[in-house]
Structure 1
Amino acid sequence: MDSAEDVLIQLYDRWRGPLLHYVLKLVDGDYQQAEDVVQETLLRAWRHYDELKPDDAAPWLYTVAKNLVISGYRRRNARATEVPLEPVDLPPVSDQVEHVLQTWQIASALRALTPEHRTVVIELYYRRRTVAEAAKTLGIPPGTVKSRCFYALRALRDALEERGVTEA
């Protein structure tokens, strides 16, 4: 099995150009916005490297990129009811759409946390460190890690409930 870094390099080499071309059309040629969307898409792919195969990742990547563009459009145009997107011939999207949407909502809720709370959650849950390892990495006492984690998870739960994400 390839490492996360190997998969990301393969995804980047194979899909960065086509994704950028696709997203540029969606954002009316705004190169900086397109670059941001592509980077966020590849960051999310890195988080799911164990589920993606670089040669078959197109439906997942294009769906995430399109959803990021739509989300950005909605944030900028709160009154808009429809997003004008040109139809594109893409392979059919797999059943992972719901998973991708939940992941996006979790990432959005995570970004809403304070930086201190967010870093603790990332260390403990995304990097899978113990409390002691996270404390050492962050340079704070283990009790502070536990406290921040408690409040961060509570804030995350509340934020996700506001977004309509509930436990399965």
Structure 2
Amino acid sequence: MDDDGFRAFVTAQWEPLTRTAYLLTGDRGAAEDLVQSVLEKSHRRWGRIVRSDAPEIYVRRAMVNTAISWRRRRRVVEVPLLAADAAPAADQYDRADTRQQLLVALRKLPPRTRAILVLRYFEDLSEADIAQVLGCSTGSVKSQASRGLARLRDHVDPYPGNAPARLQGETA
């Protein structure tokens, strides 16, 4: 087994994988658990994974699949809301408000749609790469991304705190 190669992979990929896992789970602790779980599974198969010339794709795919299966298992369990989810934080920076709205809206998406948006817009993978990671067609990635973006647009206010009066329902 190539433990040094695996160590180098983990060192190089820990931050990107943790960021992706956070966007998939919406919780820092769950994200770290997800990455550790996937890396543990990957370590057992590392000899085969590294021969595939695409260990990043394999690990990302395993992470998305594990996140989806965790969500299915936890679907019955009540998920407590964070204080930040219940009411947007009163922040003087519009960008922070928009980011919070985006994260809340992202958590409401189905796991596969969330995975597609995270991989496309946060990890900057191409549609073909996402299709390869998820094991589906490029058309499926495109349609789910389109529907997911539409749902995000419905839930994210593009003008937090300072929307023009005409956009807040008032007539000028």
Give the TM-score normalised by structure 1.
0.47
Higher relative contact order by CA 8 Å / sep ≥ 6: 1 or 2? 2
Give the TM-score normalised by structure 2.
0.46
